Structure 1
Amino acid sequence: MDLMFFAHSRHLRRADDELARVGLGRAHHRVLYFVARKPDMTVGELLTILAIAKQSLARVARELTEKGLLTQRPGVRDRRQRLIALTPAGEALERELFTLLRSNMADAYAASGGTAVTGFWTVMQNLMGEEARLLFSALHRNDPLPATGARSVARAGADA
């Protein structure tokens, strides 16, 4: 657990410093990161991924929108849906943050070797659990996010 704590906090420190410079934090970073991976996702999809309450996302999304980093628009087929995407400024900030983190990961991977990297991926996938693995797989295949279990993921996040 100590390894996870120190690795996580130190890995994100570079991004945290850049986010603080523009008055944002980790919650904002998570939204930027996932919206960049799947532009025009619905608010419901993002709630499923982040496993947070709608009120928490509303605050973060409002702040990102006010800073000109995020846009929301009605869905094409269902006008009740809210589709969210990054603005060009949001894309630029997310790309800068991603580059910092990717560089740190690449250095760690290079120092660790292929066998260690494969083992790390296996450990991480087993830590995240089945429901998160389904979301992870769908995102990486650019598939629609699974609807089943979405409420339980969001509820679990709200209860945490």
Structure 2
Amino acid sequence: MAENSTGGESLLFLTDEQLRKGIEAMFFAYRGFTADPDRILEGMDYGRAHHRAIHFVHRSPGTTVGNLLAILGVTKQSLNRVLRTLFDDGLVEARVGKKDKRERHLFLTEKGRALERELSDAQRARMRAAYRAAGPQAVQGFRTVLEAMMDPELRQQYQGLKEGRQ
């Protein structure tokens, strides 16, 4: 199969040490990826759960609470706690479903959209710099690796988001 151009190691036969380095790189990359939004949210007493909720409500305006539960993979109690603060602070609003009055459809308010933009701008800047430094082949390879790491049902959810189905 493909050869790694930096070390010539066959990608089919990675050693435990090479895998450990990859795992550690993921940990440190995630810390970097979340550092900017964490700093922004820190002064607001929000955490990463709030960030994820804001991101996916922005990504899929009108999404239901049930759909957001499925995407985030959290308990209903945990999501309700997060949503309550976002409602109370005027960042997210819930509208009753037109077809099913039991459903609550979630939307960001203008204040919520402004916060989402600030959070995403910070992450986009970091991703853009990393993508430019790595080059197009590395970016495609990175996406392939990330998708291959997803459990099948999560990959399906991700594909739905990419295609705008959620």
Q: Structure 1: which 4+ aligned runs deviate by more than 6 Å? A: none
1:61 Cα deviation from its structure 2 partner: 0.1
Match of 1:5 in 2: 27
Q: Over residues 18-61 of structure 1, what are the superposed CA-to-partner deviations in whole Å (9 max), with x where a residue is unaligned?
A: 01122211000000000000001000100010011100000000
Residue 55 (structure 1) aligned to one of 58, 71, 77: 77
Residues 32-111 of structure 1 aligned to structure 2 (within 5 Å) = 32-111=54-133
Q: Over residues 76-120 of structure 1, what are the superposed CA-to-partner deviations in whole Å (9 max), with x where a residue is unaligned?
A: 100001111111000110011001000100000000111111110
Q: CA RMSD in A?
A: 0.9
**Secondary structure in 1 aligned to 2:150?**
helix
Instruction: Output the TM-score relative to the length of structure 2.
Output: 0.84
Q: Determine the C-alpha separation between the residues in 2 that align with 1:34 and 1:11.
A: 17
Match of 2:37 in 1: 15
Q: Determine the C-alpha separation between the residues in 2 that align with 1:101 and 1:61.
A: 22
1:129 Cα deviation from its structure 2 partner: 2.0
**Structure with bigger gyration radius:** 2
Q: Structure 2: which 5+ residue stretches go unaligned?
A: 1-22
Q: Structure 1: which 5+ residue stretches go unaligned?
A: 145-160
Higher RCO (C-alpha under 8 Å, 6+ residues apart): 1
Corresponding position: 1:136 with 2:153? no
Q: Determine the C-alpha separation between the residues in 2 that align with 1:11 and 1:52.
A: 21
Identity %: 44
Higher helix share: 1
Q: Determine the C-alpha separation between the residues in 1 that align with 2:164 and 2:147.
A: 18
Q: Determine the C-alpha separation between the residues in 2 that align with 1:122 and 1:141.
A: 16
Residues 136-155 of structure 1 aligned to structure 2 (within 5 Å) = 136-144=158-166
